[in-house]
Amino acid sequence: MPERPYVIDELISAKTIAARIEDLSREIAEEFAGTDKLIVVGLLRGSFVFIADLVRELDLPIEVDFLEASSYGDGMESSREVRILKDLRGAIEGRDVLVVEDIVDTGYTLKHVSGLLRARKPARMKTIALLNKQVRREVDFNADWVGFEIPDEFVVGYGIDFAQRNRDLPYIGTVRFT
Ligand code: 5GP
Ligand code: MG
């Protein structure tokens, strides 16, 4: 539970997110057209709302799996040391893989996770992040698709938490301490 009082200012509305996901799904379906071996991998926990909306828009036969990597803990700053807390249930060798992340910030998490998954020899692997904080990047990594570029601010909602709260907000907002 957060320790200081704060309010949330809306940054990206639920409507805007839904419209962007329609466009992204079309691009992804084009990229993976004809495949019958796509596994959509959600990074827990922040991507759970995004992946749910994304797969329901995707006009492709898919499987879903999840992986959990540590990063922020309950704080507001990346630890830069990425550990796998929960691995995939299934093998991905020879499969098409789409990794779904909530936010790329320093870049450590997705760079580490995609390196790890690539070593398992998928036929093809792509990454998508709902949000990108380009100015915060510390390692050379860019997702293949990005929903929205956002400024260097701490965001919550649409699956993304502040000390485990606010994941249930239908929109993305910034945290402002009062
Ligand atoms: P990176 O390893 O790229 O620095 O961090 C990526 C992870 O940090 C994301 O998966 C996300 O969980 C977390 N993160 C980055 N920015 C924010 C933010 O503004 N709010 C929250 N709640 N988590 C963030
Ligand atoms: Mg995360």
Helix (DSSP H) and strand (DSSP E) numbers for the chain? 3, 9
97-121 pLDDT, tens digit each: 999 999 999 999 999 999 999 999 9
Q: Does residue 74 carry a catalytic annotation?
A: no
Residue of 53, 96, 102, 105 marked active site: 105
pTM: 0.95
Ligand index nearest the alpha carbon of residue 161: 1
Cα separation values, 9 from 39, 154, 156, 164, 171, Å? 35, 11, 10, 18, 10
> What residues in the chain have per-residue pLDDT under 50?
none
pLDDT of residue 1: 76
Question: Atom of ligand 1 at shortest distance to CA of 133?
Answer: 16
pLDDT of residue 125: 98
107 three-state secondary structure: coil
CA atoms within 13 A on the CB side of 114: 23
pLDDT of residue 31: 98
Judge if the beta carbon of residue 50 lies within 6 A of ligand 1: no
pLDDT of residue 75: 64
Q: Which domains does the chain have, with CATH numbers?
A: 14-152 (3.40.50.2020)
